Amino acid sequence: MPSDSIFPATLYGSSISYFTGKLENYFRIKGIPYQLQALTHPTQAKRITAKTGSSQMPALELADGRWMSDSTPIIQWFEDEYPATTVTPTDPLQRFFSLLLEDYADEWLWRPAMHYRWHYERGARFASTHLTEEILTELPLPKFMTRRWITRRQRNGYTLGDGITKDQVAGVEAIYLRTLDQLEAIFRERPFLLGDTPSLVDIGFSGPFFRHFGLDPVPAELMRQRAPAVTEWVARLWNTRLENCKGSLLQGIPDDWGPILDEIGGHYLPYLCANVEAVAAGQRRFDADIGGVQYRRARWSKYRVWCLQQLRGHFQALASSDQQAARVLLERHHCWEPLWRHKELPIDDTVCSQLPFQVDVKMIDVYD
């Protein structure tokens, strides 16, 4: 990584945050100098809101004074600016499917990750205590009241308040258990998702696995018992530097990605379609039957409409021969139809059009 006026970057977030952890894994693997600073409320939150328009974590301040937001566009920017050591596959087909899996890990595995953290008392006690002592120290409340407040806030916004009532708990937890089994089969055969070295798709999966599933008491114990190779991968990724890697990526799309692609075709993309319909209709809450799980009064997300648009754009950027190969695989795993189900998307240009240097307004502020 060359010496540059933008380093070291300051990453404002939390040491138990989903997307803060994703960016930390990327920076460590890439060799990008950074320092983590707690996004304290209200002091740092007010400052970051003034700079970016939102106190969403993480926010990144470059040493030259520029501010950045949203982990995926931030990573894409650094990949373009510093391509000498890259996590992005050079093969166009691998790049497309890596971006698809990264988006899935970001936006769908978020649901079971938030559920395990805030649904169970053990998880809520751990997270609320940590956040109270890390980023909420300035609140003029006794600590026990702050813990109760943040637990209630998160449950109202991201578990119960996002369509996960007692009837959906088993279905949401099954997503995690299937994912453990899918990744365990991969990591028993090789150290990283696409071969001997980490790639973009490893970074994507590090979001839910490093700072949620691998850290929160309930899912972490499940991982240790059910998927020890996944547990080992979480630590290995954190301890890997690209400059020290001697291996290579596989050729093509691995067959053992198939079950993950089935999840994307059967769960994530249909959810994105239901969200598109809600945004188009102006419904901030919507019902959706996804993979046999009946979500009720889930929250709409304009950001996830943009995610779908980005996936389509990545496909359209492929050469015609690569598009044909990608379509065969997408159809095989039932991803093609939901990817293109809605001809027109209700895109709000104020949401994400200038990322990563102009903050989006994708959702209310959240403490992972």
- In the 3-class helix/strand/coil scheme, how is the chain assigned residue by residue? CCCCCCCCEEEEECCCCHHHHHHHHHHHHHCCCEEEEECCCCHHHHHHHHHHCCCCCCEEECCCCCEEECHHHHHHHHHHHCCCCCCCCCCHHHHHHHHHHHHHHHHCCHHHHHHHHHHCHHHHHHHHHHHHHHCCCCCCCCHHHHHHHHHHHHHHHHHHHHCCCCCCHHHHHHHHHHHHHHHHHHHCCCCECCECCCCHHHHHHHHHHHHHHCCCHHHHHHHHHHCHHHHHHHHHHHCCCHHHCCCCECCCCCHHHHHHHHHHHHHHHHHHHHHHHHHHHCCCEEEEEECCEEEEEEECCHHHHHHHHHHHHHHHCCCHHHHHHHHHHHHHCCCHHHHCCCCCCCCCHHHHCCCCCCCCCCCCCCCC
The token pair at 284 is 């901030």
- Largest Cα separation within the chain, whole Å, is 62
- Locus of tokens 């890596």: 98
Are both 116 and 20 inside the same structural domain? no
227 shares its domain with 346: yes
Alpha-carbon span 182 to 263, nearest angstrom: 10
Claim to verify: residue 206 and residue 232 sit in the same structural domain: yes
Q: Does position 181 have pLDDT exceeding 90, yes or no? A: yes
171-184 average pLDDT score: 98
Distances in Å between the Cα of 172 and the Cα atoms of 110, 114, 167, 257, 263 are 11, 10, 10, 21, 13
Q: Output the pTM of the full model.
A: 0.96
107 and 50 in a common domain: no
Pick 71 or 355 by higher pLDDT: 71
72 and 156 in a common domain: no
Contacts of 216 (CB under 8 A, 6+ apart): 116, 117, 123, 126, 127
What is the DSSP pairing of strand 9-13 with strand 67-69? unpaired
358 is a domain residue: no
Q: Sorting pLDDT into bands at 50, 70 and 90, what band is 350? A: confident
Task: Band the pLDDT of 195: cuts 50, 70, 90.
Answer: very high
Share of the chain above pLDDT 90, in %: 90
Question: Is 87 inside any structural domain?
Answer: no
Average pLDDT score over residue span 42-65: 90
Q: Does residue 363 lie in a domain region?
A: no
- 105 and 54 in one domain? no
Please classify residue 74 by burial: count the beta carbons closer than 10 Å to its beta carbon, then call 0-12 exposed, 13-18 middle and 19+ buried: buried
* 222 and 107, same domain (yes or no): yes
Domain containing 30 equals: 9-81
361 in any annotated domain: no
Domain boundary among 81, 100, 130: 81
Residue range 5-19, pLDDT digits in tens: 899 999 999 999 999
Task: Provide the pLDDT for residue 159.
Answer: 95
Q: What is the mean pLDDT of residues 176-183?
A: 98
Bridge partners (DSSP) of residue 67 are: 61
pLDDT at 335: 98
Answer yes or no: do 284 and 307 share one domain: yes
- Look at residue 327 and tell me if it is in a domain: yes
What residue type is assigned to position 365 of the chain?
D
Non-local CB neighbours of 294 within 8 Å, separated by 6+ positions:
167, 168, 287, 288
| Structure tokens belonging to residue 84 | 């000498």
Domain with 147 in it: what CATH number? 1.20.1050.10
Contact between 262 and 334 (Cβ < 8 Å): yes
The length of the chain, given as a count of residues: 368
Is 19 found in the same domain as 162? Answer: no
Pairwise CA distance, residues 190 & 186, whole Å:
6
Q: pLDDT at position 366, please? A: 62
pLDDT above 70 for 361 = no
- pLDDT the model gives residue 18: 97
Residue 358 has a pLDDT of: 62
CATH of the domain at 63: 3.40.30.10
363 pLDDT above the threshold of 50 = no
243 and 272 together in one domain: yes
Q: What is the pLDDT of residues 201-259, one digit of tens each?
A: 999 999 999 999 999 999 999 999 999 999 999 999 999 999 999 999 999 999 999 99
Summary mean pLDDT of the chain = 94
Q: Domain tally for the chain?
A: 2
Percent of the chain surpassing pLDDT 70 = 97
What was the pLDDT predicted at 359?
57
Which amino acid, 35? Q
Q: How many CB atoms lie within 10 A of CB 324?
A: 10
- Residue 336 domain flag: yes
pLDDT given at position 269: 98
Q: How confident is the model at residue 364 (pLDDT cuts 50, 70, 90)?
A: very low
Q: With bands split at pLDDT 50, 70 and 90, how would you rate the model's confidence at 1?
A: low
How much is the pLDDT for 368? 80
Q: Please say whether the beta carbons of 344 and 34 come within 8 A.
A: no
Same domain, 65 and 167: no
pLDDT score of 339 more than 60:
yes
Domain boundary among 38, 55, 81: 81
User: Could you say which of 81, 103, 134 is where a domain stops?
Assistant: 81
pLDDT tens-digit series, residues 269-318 = 999 999 999 999 999 999 999 999 999 999 999 999 999 999 999 999 99
Residues 238, 210: contact at Cβ < 8 Å?
yes
Give the integer Cα–Cα distance in Å for 92 and 75.
17
Residue 221 falls inside a structural domain = yes
366 falls within a domain:
no
Which pLDDT score is estimated for 73? 95
pLDDT digits (tens, 9 = 90+) for 105-130: 999 999 999 999 999 999 999 999 99
Pair (76, 102) in one structural domain: no
